[in-house]
Amino acid sequence: MNSLLGELYIAYREARKHKRNTQNQLDFERNLESNLLALAYELQNRTYVPLPSICFINEKPVKREIIAANFRDRVVHHLLYNWIYPIFDRQFIFDCYSCRVGKGTDFGIKRAKAFVSSESKNFSQECWVLRLDISGFFMGINRDILYGLCIEGLRKVKWRGVPDKDLCTFLIRIFVYNDPLKNARFRSPRSAWNDLPANKSLMGLPENQGLPIGNLTSQLFG
């Protein structure tokens, strides 16, 4: 329990970096010790269930659906990320940049520049760049396939540095299959979704399809 509490505290510190002074973060921090203890108990006993998300439409810079997890659940996102990131990172191709340490915007720019330099013979001749985007990428993810890939990826490595393999697998299943729209609290009228493209929303998707874009776990799974 003490080891798990320590891991949760580290995850809490990471989760609050970009969520300072939000109401959920302040509520959690007000009773920090008891909240971390409660989380540790639920995780240890496999009774943890994500709380309802907040769902709304953000108009800027482009119109998009936001499904925000409760801060308490963001702490658990970071806990799981800290455990499985080192395992998955070793299996990614070099030019995968999703939520990877040292693979931020600056690194991507330098890498792109190196490719252009190579193809253009040190910028001495014309070359072409093809820019592509997968339409509705996160909304098109099949959760059954994703879960299978995650479990298969974990089987390929020795479990070092992860306190509890069973708990890790339990959390992967929770976050892959959690329906963030279930009991969600809507802060925008339903009419706000009227002109949002179908591939930009989790609403109306088949069962076991699509991931909420904003979750840290979704970024890693993607």
Question: 93-104 pLDDT, tens per residue?
Answer: 667 777 677 677
Nearest alpha carbon to residue 78 among 17, 130, 122:
17
Distance, in Å, from the CA atom of 166 to the CA atom of 170, rounded to the nearest integer, reads 6
Phi-psi region of 43 (alpha: psi -120 to 50; beta: other; left: phi over 0): alpha
Task: Specify if 217 maps to a domain.
Answer: yes
What is residue 195's predicted lDDT score, i.e. its pLDDT?
Answer: 87
pLDDT tens per residue across span 33-49 = 999 999 999 999 999 99
Percent of the chain with pLDDT over 70: 91
Task: Specify if 154 maps to a domain.
Answer: yes
Which residues span the domain enclosing 9?
Answer: 2-97+134-221
Task: Specify if 105 maps to a domain.
Answer: no
Number of domains observed in the structure of the chain: 1
CA atoms within 13 A on the CB side of 174: 20
All residue ranges of the chain with pLDDT < 50 are none
Task: Specify if 115 maps to a domain.
Answer: no
pTM for the structure as a whole: 0.85
